[in-house]
Structure 1
Amino acid sequence: MPPPRTYTRTDFAALRAFVQRIESGVIARRYYDPDEPRHAPHAASPDAMERFLRAMLEDLVQLALRHGSAVLAFHLKASIKQHGSAKLTAVTLRMVEQASTLAAARPAPDHHVGLWFRPLIARRLTGEGIDSLGTLIDVCNLRGGSWWRSIPRIGAHRAQVIVAWLRGHETDLGKRVEADVDTAPLVPVVGLGNVIVIGGSMEAPRLAPFERLAIPTALSGEHGTNRGRDFAFIRAEHDLAAIHAYLNRYRDRPATLRAYTRELERLVLWLVIVRGVALSSMTVEDGEAYKDFLKAPIASFVGPKRSRASGRWRPFTPEGLSPESQAYAVRAIRAAFAWLTTVRYLAGNPWSAVTDPATITREVEVQVERALSTDLWTRVRAELDARCDGEDLGGVTPTEDEARQWRIARAAILLMGNSGVRRDEAANARRENLSVAVVTATGSSTKMPTDSSTVLATEQRSVWVLGVIGKRRKQRTVPVSVATVAALRAHWADRELDFDATWAEGPLIAPVVINGTNASLAKHGDASESKGAAVHQPHAPYAADALARLVREAIRRIAEALLREGALSHDAHVKLLATSAHAFRHTFGTQTVARGMPIDVAQRILGHASLQTTSIYVRAERQRMLDEAAKYYSEDAS
């Protein structure tokens, strides 16, 4: 006998639906992806689907006759004799499946995910570059328990089912899903609820961010040698409580709060695990040792960027800290210790005697070379419009869900590229701060018909303006282009909101659909919503980092598409791949200067504290002009 054909889990699920008399066309759409005929050619049409399922059923019945029980074989033979072929119910099909295990295919690392997962799941995985089962395992092991967060509509429950299935087939796949790849919350080391007591060895430390962190009693600082002996102005019994009191001062300045939390978090973890010293017992020698640690953190403290809720979170990234970042860390810690001394929690500030790491003052602080050229900026805008409008791009038409995401990216990119706002300012911009201002423009001189006097003609024009809060909590007003307003209006329509309503308010840019995870629901949605479901919540803004990731991914996809079409040079492709959200602010700066906007006006729009900073765009535009002139004259000479 020839070896039996093998069938995947998807095939068996489709056969069960067929036995339950579901139409073949519905089965093909539900269990297979018509857009991927190479993985399931039998799902190309209802007739092909029915032929495949009937042949599969015949294969399984023959295997059951040879390998099943005598009772099952008798039942199948009687059914074949009466009907010409076996007529099965859901129960008898299950018995046939158990008896025909030889036909069950074994998953392999190179199998496409579409062979084993339903089309919706497979499309979401392949959309993130996860094509095969082996790649899926690699992504899980690389990202840890939060591997699914960057994949649209893959929630905690689906992720848990996928990981459980992969673990159940580790022998066949020949690849193992690591033990800490789990969607459950971080498991506490000790019985303190949701808190981790940090400690362990330097090779295998127990690390946790501040919100999940507890310090062993011996190192808590309750009896620190540098504790103030006089009445303290804060009610802090130990070092961690004192640090939280200090950070609470910045609760209304989220960017500063994040930065200071990061630096103090790193210091506390180093003190407990590496140095074995309480924060309130630090000396100058400890401070100098920490400076050396910042230059080269130990391997167990380093890891790729992960969610703070993940067990794989690490305080340092593999890129390390630049000298400027090391100096910033020392200054931030010195300021915290100065405050703790002022409120008399500490008797003195040992960091006042610790010098800053040596740094080099850069000649140019603003990296204007990141700005896009006029041609490239125009091309990017055209590509964004095409995707937002759902145009056919090389045989691929974006779905409505994809078009909505493109419209979010377009609104953010135009707001930064046409108004020069920072990514934090774009993320926090609100509709109630956007309005129309009427300005009076003075035109050419003209003579009145009744006398010989000359007057200047005036014209009233309207321009959209937006109030934003920038660095150092300074408010400023920036102009907003008509194209940006149109992009925002389209994005608000996706959120089912009226952009032009009299009392319209809310974030200018916000997610259209929120994944139903606990973290997302806590920030964007209603905690009463069912877990794992996607909820509609149009009033919660993006985090600045999330908006920047969305923008960068949109530009990356545009760059790849243009390169495939041969419509982009290699240099331009590299330029786009390196384009971050902040690069659009530089694009605005260079383009406004190139078009003759007065430098002091550009300074006010960009929010630069110094005119010298804005003048860098003038020098950059002058250098670009000289470069182009040199090319022109060299071609003329040849």
Structure 2
Amino acid sequence: MLHIAARSDAEAVARWLAEYRDSPRTQRAYRREAERLLLWLGEQGRELGSLRRDDLDAFEAFLADPRPRHRWVGPPRPRTSAEWRPLRGPLSAASRRQSLVILQGLFAWLREAGWVAHNPFRLMRDKRRRLDNRAPRIERYLERPLWEWLWAWLSAPIDEDAAARVRFERSRRRFVFGFAYLLAPRIAEMSAARMQDFHRREGRWWWRVVGKGDKVAVIPVPPDMMTLLQGWRSALDLSPLPSPGEEAPLLRTLDGRRALGANRLYRLIRETFCEAATALEAEQGGEAAEAVSRLRRATPHWLRHTALTHQAQSGVELRFLAATARHARLDTTARYLHAEDEEWHRQQAVHGLVEARGGRL
């Protein structure tokens, strides 16, 4: 028996998405995953009700290697653009797991709604491995020497005769990277930030942020962040410190007034990584091949990983690290702890082979 008013798969999915109307960011993420599945099935002339257990393996393989690439992969574009594509590139193992987690929830809901007669996710014997959203140790981050090189490159003096636009863009990108490194925001949180989100309480500065699931958090602002903020406000011809009720956007377009959208911010960060990779290659040549490769592959989320990893390496306690990251579970935050690996490696180095004598060990 059907328990929802729907005449197509798209309408049924829309009913499911409506359950998340109070969490816009979650709703957008869920819509993206459901849309990818609908498009993938549509290419085969199939509907949601036809999905079977072996299709889940085929769909996961598609996410790992979407083909033909020109039909599925492209840069960020408005959904209405003819150049829009559902994927930016192949999804990592963690992203594929996340996609399956979301789609499992979709099918559980559709089954209860009577839209599909069968939930293929319930047949997965390795369900825990596939659908548990816990990922292995974080590896997509910049190691400290590479980050320090990048920050020095971002901070290089600007030519005195540079055009006003160039000076603005250089100031903005330095602020963006510093903001990302010091406070570990997600890209949507950076785009949505307002000047008034930085406020003083009992002599200390804090950043108010609305994160995933529309959860509000207040994060301590370190001194270096306040220095960066004052420099950025100077570039905008504003007073050094934000005031209560200052609703203007933190990150702005070239006119200095409008908010910088999440898609444009994503492209700005990716373009900066690629430009930095070219500069590093020209500066150090083949000696920096691995570092150059990492910069070319880096995405905005690498900045969040870098921030949290470096905080962990600096000795920030796990409970405070989790609060900064706004993770619901400590084991999620623990993925950033590399210090134990370093100590394990140091102690393991004590164990070696006896020096050879007479050609024998």
Q: Tell me the TM-score normalized by structure 2.
A: 0.76
Secondary structure (helix, strand or coil) at the match of 2:218 reads: strand
Aligned mates of 2:69, 2:316 — CA distance in 1? 51
- What's the counterpart of residue 146 of structure 1? none
Cα pair 2:184 2:308 within 8 Å, conserved? yes
Secondary structure (helix, strand or coil) at the match of 1:370 reads: coil
Aligned mates of 2:150, 2:283 — CA distance in 1? 14
Cα pair 2:94 2:135 within 8 Å, conserved? no
The alignment of Structure 1 onto Structure 2 pairs a total of residues equal to: 342
Aligned mates of 2:70, 2:57 — CA distance in 1? 14
Please state which structure has a larger fraction of its residues in helix.
Answer: 2
Aligned mates of 1:383, 1:301 — CA distance in 2? 34
Match of 1:504 among 224, 246, 256: 246
The Cα offsets for residues 68-108 of structure 1, whole Å up to 9 and x where unpaired, read as xxxxxxxxxxxxxxxxxxxxxxxxxxxxxxxxxxxxxxxxx
| Structure 1 pair 419–244 and aligned structure 2 pair: CA distance change class (3 A) | same
- What's the counterpart of residue 370 of structure 1? 141
Cα pair 1:488 1:508 within 8 Å, conserved? no
Q: Are residue 480 (structure 1) and residue 226 (structure 2) matched?
A: no
The amino acid of 2:118's aligned partner reads P
The amino acid of 2:245's aligned partner reads W
The Cα offsets for residues 166-213 of structure 1, whole Å up to 9 and x where unpaired, read as xxxxxxxxxxxxxxxxxxxxxxxxxxxxxxxxxxxxxxxxxxxxxxxx
- What's the counterpart of residue 430 of structure 1? 194
Cα pair 1:301 1:316 within 8 Å, conserved? no
1:235-250 matches, cutoff 5 A:
236-250=6-20
- What's the counterpart of residue 359 of structure 2? none
Q: Are residue 605 (structure 1) and residue 324 (structure 2) matched?
A: yes
Aligned mates of 1:483, 1:254 — CA distance in 2? 32
| Structure 1 pair 624–573 and aligned structure 2 pair: CA distance change class (3 A) | farther
Secondary structure (helix, strand or coil) at the match of 1:386 reads: coil
Aligned mates of 1:602, 1:489 — CA distance in 2? 25
Aligned mates of 1:351, 1:243 — CA distance in 2? 15
Cα pair 1:337 1:349 within 8 Å, conserved? no
- CA-CA distance at 1:290 after TM superposition: 3.5
- What's the counterpart of residue 176 of structure 2? 412
| Structure 1 pair 510–356 and aligned structure 2 pair: CA distance change class (3 A) | farther
- CA-CA distance at 1:605 after TM superposition: 1.9
- What's the counterpart of residue 72 of structure 2? 303
- CA-CA distance at 1:623 after TM superposition: 3.4
| Structure 1 pair 314–561 and aligned structure 2 pair: CA distance change class (3 A) | closer
Aligned mates of 2:346, 2:140 — CA distance in 1? 15
The amino acid of 1:381's aligned partner reads W
Aligned mates of 2:54, 2:9 — CA distance in 1? 20
Structure with greater contact order relative to length (CA < 8 Å, sep ≥ 6): 2
- CA-CA distance at 1:239 after TM superposition: 3.8
1:216-365 matches, cutoff 5 A:
228=2, 232=3, 234=5, 236-275=6-45, 277-279=46-48, 282-283=49-50, 286-288=51-53, 290-294=55-59, 295-296=61-62, 299=68, 302-306=71-75, 307=77, 308-315=79-86, 319=90, 325=95, 328-340=98-110, 342=112, 346=115, 348-351=116-119, 354-356=122-124, 358=126, 359=129, 365=136
Secondary structure (helix, strand or coil) at the match of 2:220 reads: strand
- CA-CA distance at 1:289 after TM superposition: 5.6
- What's the counterpart of residue 106 of structure 1? none
Q: Are residue 558 (structure 1) and residue 276 (structure 2) matched?
A: yes
| Structure 1 pair 240–580 and aligned structure 2 pair: CA distance change class (3 A) | closer
Cα pair 2:178 2:225 within 8 Å, conserved? yes
| Structure 1 pair 382–261 and aligned structure 2 pair: CA distance change class (3 A) | same
Secondary structure (helix, strand or coil) at the match of 2:151 reads: helix
1:38-49 matches, cutoff 5 A:
none
The Cα offsets for residues 399-428 of structure 1, whole Å up to 9 and x where unpaired, read as 331221222222221122112223332222
| Structure 1 pair 325–420 and aligned structure 2 pair: CA distance change class (3 A) | closer
Secondary structure (helix, strand or coil) at the match of 2:199 reads: strand
- What's the counterpart of residue 358 of structure 2? none
Structure 1 runs not aligned, ≥5 long: 1-226, 439-461, 514-535
The amino acid of 1:261's aligned partner reads R
- What's the counterpart of residue 383 of structure 1? 153
The amino acid of 1:355's aligned partner reads L
Aligned mates of 1:422, 1:268 — CA distance in 2? 27
The Cα offsets for residues 97-151 of structure 1, whole Å up to 9 and x where unpaired, read as xxxxxxxxxxxxxxxxxxxxxxxxxxxxxxxxxxxxxxxxxxxxxxxxxxxxxxx
The Cα offsets for residues 514-533 of structure 1, whole Å up to 9 and x where unpaired, read as xxxxxxxxxxxxxxxxxxxx
Structure 2 runs not aligned, ≥5 long: 353-361
- CA-CA distance at 1:274 after TM superposition: 1.5
- CA-CA distance at 1:299 after TM superposition: 3.3
Cα pair 1:509 1:541 within 8 Å, conserved? yes
Aligned mates of 2:105, 2:278 — CA distance in 1? 46
- What's the counterpart of residue 356 of structure 2? none
- CA-CA distance at 1:566 after TM superposition: 3.9
- CA-CA distance at 1:467 after TM superposition: 1.6
- CA-CA distance at 1:380 after TM superposition: 2.6
Aligned mates of 1:273, 1:563 — CA distance in 2? 42
Aligned mates of 1:590, 1:327 — CA distance in 2? 22
- What's the counterpart of residue 357 of structure 2? none
- What's the counterpart of residue 315 of structure 2? 596
The Cα offsets for residues 203-228 of structure 1, whole Å up to 9 and x where unpaired, read as xxxxxxxxxxxxxxxxxxxxxxxx72
1:187-206 matches, cutoff 5 A:
none
The amino acid of 1:309's aligned partner reads T
- CA-CA distance at 1:466 after TM superposition: 0.5
The Cα offsets for residues 48-71 of structure 1, whole Å up to 9 and x where unpaired, read as xxxxxxxxxxxxxxxxxxxxxxxx
Cα pair 1:465 1:478 within 8 Å, conserved? yes
Match of 1:470 among 211, 215, 218: 211
| Structure 1 pair 410–240 and aligned structure 2 pair: CA distance change class (3 A) | same
- CA-CA distance at 1:494 after TM superposition: 4.0
The Cα offsets for residues 528-566 of structure 1, whole Å up to 9 and x where unpaired, read as xxxxxxxx36242421x4323312322332343244234
The amino acid of 1:266's aligned partner reads R
- What's the counterpart of residue 89 of structure 1? none
Aligned mates of 1:421, 1:576 — CA distance in 2? 19
Cα pair 2:195 2:242 within 8 Å, conserved? no
The amino acid of 2:299's aligned partner reads S
Secondary structure (helix, strand or coil) at the match of 2:156 reads: helix
The amino acid of 2:12's aligned partner reads A
Aligned mates of 2:56, 2:260 — CA distance in 1? 37
Aligned mates of 2:345, 2:170 — CA distance in 1? 35
Aligned mates of 1:564, 1:343 — CA distance in 2? 59
Cα pair 1:302 1:318 within 8 Å, conserved? no
